[in-house]
Structure 1
Amino acid sequence: MPSRQETQQLAAGVTRLRNSNGREFIEVAHPRVSARIALEGGHLVSCLPAGQKPLLWLSPQEPEVPGKPLRGGVPLCWPWFGNERSGPAHGIARTGLWELESVVVTDEAVQINLELPQSEMAIHIPDEHWKLGVQFILASDLQVTLTSTNTGSKAQILGQALHAYLPVSDITQVEIKGLDQASYLDQLTGKEEVQLGPVRFSQEVDRIYHGAIGAVQLEDAGETITVAGSGSGSTVIWNPWVKKSRRLGHFPEDGYREMLCIETANAGHDRRVLDPGETHSLSTRISHHV
């Protein structure tokens, strides 16, 4: 990480800082958890509960410069997922400059709320009207909640994902449980398939699993990371493997070996239509168990 420059104390153990590249972060140093959030993108970069391993993966080649999406952590895909609509991949939220709304610190947790300002939306989606906020609850586990309200006068389509990058010891040795018998769209072939047994990795994987699946478990060398979603009827599993890793920015050629993504989403068939005044919350909870 680049050296820090400007700092501002927001609350006990919570600091706003600007790195030497000019990118702004909120840094949390609490007895229960350490974390960093980039204001550009509303992007949780890291989360380390006390006495545990990191819950999130960040590329060791990530320069953390302004104007570029970060490779790792929890990117916010909104109001579309992937290339479902014209415009930047995964929408506008992961590059917009978010505003800090509140910080609440207790003995058990730190809660941080951000909002995407209307000026950002007016630039990129001028025909749509939304109120968008994200809440981070940082403690012995991690919860991220993205809340969208249709503030316009007509129905609006919403696709989104909490694009969590998780660390693994060796991608060829891990498995994901909780998806057996679930149907999925293989985005590499365009075919609908059914999952049989755990998900294992020996090639590129890019899948949208359908249904309110609930908790998914990443099993890795006797340890488990659980990803539990709500407000979701789709779960995305992604690993770029060898060839795509070479094309990705800020990503080591062998980076695919040490990460995968389990994303709580409203993607594919699960895109939502929100009527005027309607609110929808998408949430993911990530926890580590030995």
Structure 2
Amino acid sequence: MTRIHLTAEDVARVRFAPRPAPVQELNAAFTMLFGRRDELLFGRWRRRVLRSLPGAVEPLGDLVPAGRAPVFLDVLGETLDEGLDLVAAARPELVRSELERVYAGHPSPRWIRELHGGDGDAWRVLRRAQRAAFETMLAPVWPLVRDLHRAEFARGALAFAEHGVGAALPALVAGSRLRDGVWEWAAPGARDVRLDGRGLVLLPTFHWTGHPMIQDLPGRPVVVTYAAGPGLPLAPDGAPDSADSLATVLGRTRLALLLLLSREHTTTSLARRLGVSNATVSAHASALRGAGLITTARAGRSVLHLRTALGTLLVGDRPRP
């Protein structure tokens, strides 16, 4: 059983990662490629990827034998370069201890031993391998990953705003529950993680079907990477229209309202533009405001609404209706 212990301060600091993390998504995909056998859903994808991987990726397989990845690879970072820089900035003692854990009782390749010693050439080998793997496995579908992340972000934000942490957090992981400040779910091995005020970051991944992966590094918020999306490997030629994806999550009226609010509107103005009643606009605005996507302020007898930076991040550069 995995248990995450949250204090009252941690509950107030639960948040979604605003953007997908390229290196973490790569970790999930690479582990799915070699360490988890989900042949029915991922078999065809696995065979296609294995045929296309360049030789430069091979060292990454050495570093993640049988799906046992060292935790210094678990980084966020909103761009690939930022993530790779965070990997390279890992504390030497963490790198050494994790390589010793992964290769406990087994001989390691020479370059892994050099990485253990902090050799600069070995770090460059790792960076080339990660970049080559990302370009082959994820770059062709990264626009779809971003769109799916926005939709999952919106769904989660609305669920937390409308139902609260107690109901929305367990809904992210099938079979999990939140009771007496402990979020728990069945998983191989027992693990207890205490946040102690560090907060919790929720990161959806779209190349993984297993139990949530936990990043627990000293002095940092704990990151839970959980399986989201359609449950199928992504294909660059199968991307759904991102506006349709958001409309499915938010509802078409809420999405249209959010798009209009790139500039300030009154409730009456929104109702007129959308062809709905003032009461309907107020109800949708309340849900979007609770999710942090819009702000509302009174100006005399009028109520003014405006999209927040978070709302703008969600809708990207889509045109107003």
Structure showing the higher helix proportion among its residues = 2
TM-score by length of structure 1 reads 0.26
Taking structure 2 as the reference length, the TM-score comes to 0.24
Give the number of the structure with larger relative contact order, counting CA–CA contacts within 8 Å between residues 6 or more apart: 2
Structure having the higher strand fraction is 1
Q: Which entry has the higher C-alpha Rg, 1 or 2?
A: 2
